[in-house]
Amino acid sequence: MQGQVFYYRAMPEPSVSSEFEVRRERTESARLDNFVDGAFAFAITLLLISGATMPRDVAALEHALLGVPAFAVCFAQLAWFWHAHVRWRDTVRLTDRVSLVLSLLLVFFALIFVFPLHLVYAGFFNGISGGMLSPDVTRLTGSTIGTAALFACYGLSYACMAGTLATLYRHGARTAAWLDWKESDSVRVRSVIFTYVAAVGLFSALLALVLPGQLTGLSGSAYFLLVLIGPVAKYYRSHLKAKLPP
């Protein structure tokens, strides 16, 4: 068989680098998700109805249980923001630097938000119950200046969390090219929803700063505008459908 030349077809080698990148992205995504989940869990821990210590007798337990209504509303608020981030992760599946920074920023605002959140709802339930519920919290009507500052802090932190989520969804709609049109429209709609929520928070904070002292408490009524989330989302969905080719 001398003089014969044999040719071998080059077989494609597995792309080790691409597999490594996929594995690394999955690891980073899991770490980020665990960190965000843990941070929200820590924020909820700060809302413990019994304070820093466990009740040592029945009287202390009854006293702690008076804070359950405020705790329940605060828990629901934090869970809503947390679930919005979970839906963003499940839909968009981004692991780039912008997503990392925005997710960490959401955690930062959540750990700030938990304090005015607790004071607003504890003070609310204390006020409407005549001091029976959340007895350890001073009523909001005690000081007009304090009420204005509290609602301003609450509105700003509320707007920061909603605005961060809106930016996350908007970034996902622009960057995640693998989304189909239904997923892309869903992401855009949720971006608009949280933009609207952030605007409501800013509006409430502005009212707290400009209303006269006797009317400062009315800044909290601005959050009733959140009932319009459904119509806002429906209008924007119809706007996106109108832009589709026939």
pLDDT digits (tens, 9 = 90+) for 11-37: 444 444 555 555 566 667 788 888 899
Q: Which residue has the tokens 């006020």?
A: 127
167's tokens:
């930016």
Look at residue 11 and tell me if it is in a domain: no
Amino acid identity of residue 236, one-letter, is Y
pLDDT, residue 153, reads 94
Percent of the chain past pLDDT 90, that is, above it, reads 44
In a domain, 1, yes or no: no
* Domain span holding position 158: 26-242
Residue 151 lies in a domain: yes
Residue 9 lies in a domain: no
Q: What are residue 138's phi and psi, to 5 degrees?
A: -65, 140
Of 201 and 6, more confident? 201
Residue 2 lies in a domain: no
pLDDT at 191 over 90: yes
Is the residue at 42 inside a domain?
Answer: yes
Q: What is the pLDDT of residue 7?
A: 40
Answer whether residue 99 is part of any domain: yes
Question: pTM surpassing 0.85?
Answer: no
What six digits make up the tokens of 98? 């912008």
4 domain-assigned:
no
- Of residues 117 and 48, more confidence is placed in 117
Q: Categorize the per-residue pLDDT at 168 as very low, low, confident or very high, splitting at 50, 70 and 90.
A: very high
Measured over the CA atoms of residue 227, residue 230, residue 231 and residue 236, the dihedral's sign is: positive
Q: What is the pLDDT of residues 108-154, one digit of tens each?
A: 999 999 999 999 999 889 888 888 888 877 655 456 678 888 999 99
How far is the C-alpha of 56 from the C-alpha of 63, rounded, in Å? Answer: 11
pLDDT value at 9 more than 60: no
Number of domains in the chain: 1
* Residue 109 pLDDT: 96
Q: Residue 212 region, left (φ>0) first, then alpha (ψ -120 to 50), else beta?
A: beta
